[in-house]
Structure 1
């Protein structure tokens, strides 16, 4: 039999709506209180009309769901199955459609009044969602927060790498360095020393590919180990090396075996190739405002 109760406003009722399995629901013991029934009598009324309550209208909570709800600060009054003083079975949850169906089952003035409040409450919730559907959801905010955190970490890593690169760039842009230094194996080295370091590693053959050769090109080769054959591939653009300079070099350094071959325009970049060593490599020479030398193992 119905008992008159104090819950007559939407604010009180709204506190009894929970989100379970992604749906807004109300639990049987709250609905029993709202409609003035004991939980047992309320569920008996539903059982007497069970054909009206499909699974999308009413479902029983799992033990895990009950445990999670009982831990919630929002829900403190739930009686957990198995706990002393608790109910003998797991609670039932009613969806919005199930609550509307209850209105056809529960009779009386109190049921009518409470049903009207519930109808207005759910309609108000729908209107609230529709009005704010263009706003970002909590889940989306959480995803953005995670992405922002990751982006911050990534930016910090990039910043470290850029800072390290900036140090190198500062070295090459300093007035003292200009074109007199090369970037060799991750360090800045005086150009003449860098070339000699490369050439000294040769054991069998050196190929120098450079369209802008000069007398200095030959001078840097003078310390090449004996029995290493040197071939310079060049179209000698801008005529940086004259025949007489080449002949004089051969006379002064007879231990250096070097020959010249034209490229006929098939090469653009500058290369140095060494053969006959344990790990043959090619050195790519890039020349703009700064000369860089990058060793590539073959």
Structure 2
């Protein structure tokens, strides 16, 4: 597949922040979506070329991943644009991409900034989904005094800091099952696990690709990452070098001793993952925490 290139070298510093990306997310047909033109801008390609690449891979983009807006939907969105004239010259109704569609774009588009942009877009979706999905249950658990304080602070960042701090302080259950299509729910949990590591992450996964790096990129700064995978991994040396140029401390080693997937944090906390991280949420799978510390050490010793 030929690589899509921008007309001039892309400076990673000009990639939009996650807060700017969140302002590009709209609600259409009761789901969060992003416009083709906004995505093209983020990926530093022309909108026409982005849509052409999608059409060439049409089997990867069912209606649940990507669809064309109706005239009424487009006019409704135009009222939300900061600069509506930016979209006024289009000859056709734009396409929008759902969360799953955007995840697929990171695999279809092959640009120098694909990994960085994909990580920021996914993180924006994850943060929005986390807040929306857990908001109701969260406030039921906060005392009346805390709730009143949050209400007074709703115009400040302090409210959101308190909300997300509360979420982070509550550990996930020891077992979690994800069903078909829960791509971002699985992505969210895997990121939360990765971010628990203080010094080291060991991933045993026979099949890894850029999607795997999208998750590992959310690690804390300075945390070492070691991936053990099969020889025929889809992860290239260029992918590894690109990751290390931005996040550092990634080492990829090859092995064939393991069939199952394991995620081990700081050599002490381990998880059995029922699917490769790159496929998490595409089909039904589970994640279980390993309770026996000796088992974790046995796995590490086998490596």
* Shared fold per TM-score greater than 0.5: no
Larger radius of gyration: 1
User: Structure 2 length as normaliser, TM-score?
Assistant: 0.40
User: Structure 1 length as normaliser, TM-score?
Assistant: 0.41
